[in-house]
A and B are shown apart, each in its own frame.
Chain A
Amino acid sequence: MQLFFIAATILLILKIFYGNPDTYYLKLFFDLIIAFAVYFLILALIRFENSRPSSPLSLVLNVGILLAIMFFIILFSDYLLTNVFENINQQINNPSLVYNVISVLYLLVVVSLVSFFFVILRHLFYRNQAKNTRIYFNTMLVFFILASLSKNFFDSEHLSFLITTFFVISILLMIFNSIRISWIAFLTKKEKLYLLLLSFFITSLFIVNISNSSGENVYSQIIMGFSPSLKQFNKVVMIYGSIYFMFLFFTTLFHLPTAEAYDRKAQEVTSLQYFSKLITEVLDFNDLAETVTDITQKLSDSKASWIIWRNGSRHNSVAAKNIGYVESDKISNKILEKISIEDLTSTKTLNLREKVVGSDPDNSYSVVSVSPIKTKGITHGILVAAKASGQMFTLDDLNAIETFSDYASVAIENSRLLEESIEKERLEKELDVAREIQKKILPLKAPAVPNLQIASVFIPAFEVGGDYYDFFKINDSKLGFVIADVSGKGISAAFIMAEIKGIFETLSKTIETPKEILIKANEILWHTLDSKTFVSAAYGYFNLNEKKLTFARAGHCPLYLFRNDQSKIMKPSGLGLGLSERDYFIDNLEEYSIDLENNDTIVLYTDGVTEAKNDLLEDFGDKQFLKVLHNNINLNAEELSNKIIHEISVFSSGHEQYDDITLVIFKWQQ
């Protein structure tokens, strides 16, 4: 930019001193200076244009505005400048100085305008991202310069053919370079219409300006006074401009019919891009469904869109766009009369036999498209798009919806997986709490009691199984014990365990007999537990002084007694706790009492032991359990329990532990 100003200043000084150049070398010198000025200005403008992001449309508009300015400058300069010069001649004693200054400024304005046209045209040209863009343009530029300079230097009879040659080649190159204007394709229909109008005016203005500037007027006098080459360059650029914009006009005209289709494709691409971004960002099912129907409706140019989502054996409308749920349900039902969700594998159109008219009679629907939303080959829902009555789905519409429903399927699957993993995490947290509760409820270690070995093992399942056992030292001669299993699993089972612990701890202190304790416990639980939850339990106590074991069983696994290589399954009758009301429970409850002998082994367990499974889903089973006990009955209580747990873990090594395992072994030693 500074270089441009330096060149301009030199020009001013030269003009003041020499006036109009008349010698050949002076002409050459003037031309050189102007050429430098133009060159530096163009460089500066290119840098400026590159630095700001501009759409071709705004560039075109700029050209239009500058052309209009140029038009007015040429138009009014005749009248205005002549008047000014006359006034100057009359009033000032050194008129040529002022005249020169004004003409240099005038020249600079013209130079700026020409440079600007050139730069913008160059910018528009470079929008074409074809091969060898640069080479084509530079070749043209070289001929521009040759055509311009030749005007000055070959202006004699026998060399004038050169001027014409360069000029013609320039024009040919201009035409060649104007043919491919690819950026039009990326404009919307509205922009194209706008461009059509604009390019028409610009072409006209270019032509008007060319004819205006070539005549004998003040404008051409002033320019010729400096450099015929500049005038020629100006002309060449103007011609290029008019050719370019003429081509632009026609190209735009030819693009108009396909503009709508292009707009649609562009919308599709944008939607899909937007959506693929969404897939990774939106993970909430409902948000996603809203977006899916929103895009579907726009993409297929439909009146309304919604999703029919299967929910067990029922289905409901989700994320209805531009339609009420009542209407969408009505149409959904009609759709499902014709096809079932599971059987839909590809996008189809369906004609509704009769129009569905909404609350607003303007909203009536007669044709819908249906696309499956499927994950892992199973169709979970239908993406519906409905056209207003009288409209049809085009093949393009259907292709767009089909593609889109595939995207939607992936996205919905993602969100579902996430929801599942969140749910899983929540469940795991919940189970952590449940296990924590269970751990706190169960006794840390068995109490030390004379003549009685006590061993207990508890192995929690991943999903807390609701097993509970406890020992109560009622007094020095009495040791109470309980083993129980709450139906159900997880945190609800853990809370019930806590309740049971409270019940038995309290009752064991106030009530003596196992039967009465269980009756009372049943009464409490009958009222507190919901109807499908119950507890199996066995309660008993050792009377150490009387060497006696008394117990009762409320729906729990039997107790095993091993005495002298003989085993006895002790299974007094009794209903589970919380299953029946007081009287019925009492009627069916028995209490057993046995006198203890030396080495009597009493085994209590929960069904987690006998129902431990191997990888063939076979149970560990009562028989095997009894056999292992039999074979190892001479071990002490601790060793025996370890042996059993070892056997169970070997047996079920291929299978996940499904239920809590509880084993309590008493060994009477006199």
Chain B
Amino acid sequence: MADFSTSVKEKGDISIINLKGYLDAHTAPTLENNFTQLIGENKFKIIVNFEDLAYISSAGLGVFMAYIENIRDNQGDIKLTNMSNKVFNIFDLLGFPLLYEIYKNEDEAIRKFSGS
């Protein structure tokens, strides 16, 4: 449907994935690759920044579900930040705020990682 891209940067032992564009069933594999790679490198502290994400479909949400168990088993977490209202509402409908920590910005999420 439309474009989607990701970029990964490292801050200490925390990996930050920036999402951009439209995340749906067709573009989800890109993000899946990011997670697979990070897990392969034993990087389990992951922040996903939604700032530039325009849209997320249910299949896009599924990506997070696919990896969270493995990551938490390894004392890691996926924390979500910088969501637009629209994206947050989609997460909220499904009850994702009950499953994931969602923060306003990266710093907040990084602090949470450091604190724990």
Residues of A within 8 A of B (CB): 485-489, 530-534, 536, 555-558, 571, 573-576, 579-580, 584, 588, 607, 611, 617, 619, 658-659
Contacts and interface: CB of A to CB of B under 8 A. Distances in A.
Contact of B59 (A487, A571, A588, A617): A487
Contact of B93 (A489, A532, A536, A617): A536
Contacts of A533: 62
Residue in A487, A532, A579, A607 with the greatest tally of chain B CB atoms within 10 Å: A532
A406 B100 CA distance: 52
B94 A489 contact: no
Given A487-B58, A617-B2, A588 B66 contact: no
Contacts, number: 64
B95 interface: yes
Contacts of B54: 617
Contact of B65 (A534, A556, A659): A534
B99 A485 contact: no
A556 B93 contact: yes
A531 B55 CA distance: 21
Contact of A575 (B55, B57, B59, B99): B99
Nearest to B89: A622
A486 B90 CA distance: 14
A588 B96 CA distance: 11
Nearest to A617: B2
A575 B94 contact: yes
A489 B26 CA distance: 10
B59 to A, nearest CB: 5
A483 to B, nearest CB: 13
Closest 7 pairs (CB-CB, A-B):
A575-B95, A532-B62, A487-B58, A532-B66, A555-B94, A576-B94, A488-B59
Nearest to B98: A588
A420 to B, nearest CB: 15
Contacts of B38: none
Contacts of A486: 58
26 contacts: A487-B57, A487-B61, A487-B62, A488-B25, A488-B59, A531-B66, A532-B59, A532-B63, A532-B65, A532-B66, A533-B62, A534-B58, A534-B62, A534-B94, A536-B58, A555-B93, A555-B94, A557-B93, A558-B93, A574-B95, A575-B99, A579-B65, A588-B95, A588-B98, A607-B58, A617-B2
A580 B65 CA distance: 10
Contacts of A659: 57
Contacts of B58: 485-488, 534, 536, 607
Could you say which interface size class chain B belongs to?
Answer: 20 to 34
B65 A531 contact: yes
Given A532-B66, A617-B2, A580 B99 contact: yes
Contacts of A579: 65, 94-96, 99
Contacts of B69: 531
A556 B62 CA distance: 15
A489 B94 CA distance: 17
Interface of B: 1-2, 25, 54-55, 57-59, 61-63, 65-66, 69, 86, 90, 93-96, 98-99
B7 to A, nearest CB: 14
Nearest to B25: A489
A573 B97 CA distance: 11
B95 A488 contact: no
Contacts of B55: 611
A429 to B, nearest CB: 18
A69 B58 CA distance: 93
A251 B3 CA distance: 67
Nearest to A655: B1
Contacts of A574: 95
A569 to B, nearest CB: 11
B108 to A, nearest CB: 23
A558 B95 CA distance: 12
A575 B61 CA distance: 13
Nearest to A659: B57
A262 B56 CA distance: 63
A553 to B, nearest CB: 9
Contact of B98 (A534, A575, A607, A611): A575
Contacts of A571: 93
Residue of A536, A579, A607, A659 with most partner-chain B CB within 10 A: A579
A573 B93 contact: no
B5 to A, nearest CB: 14
Given A488-B59, A532-B65, A579-B96, 9 more contacts: A485-B58, A487-B58, A488-B62, A531-B65, A531-B69, A555-B94, A573-B95, A579-B65, A658-B1
A659 B54 CA distance: 17
A579 B99 CA distance: 9
Contacts of B61: 487, 534
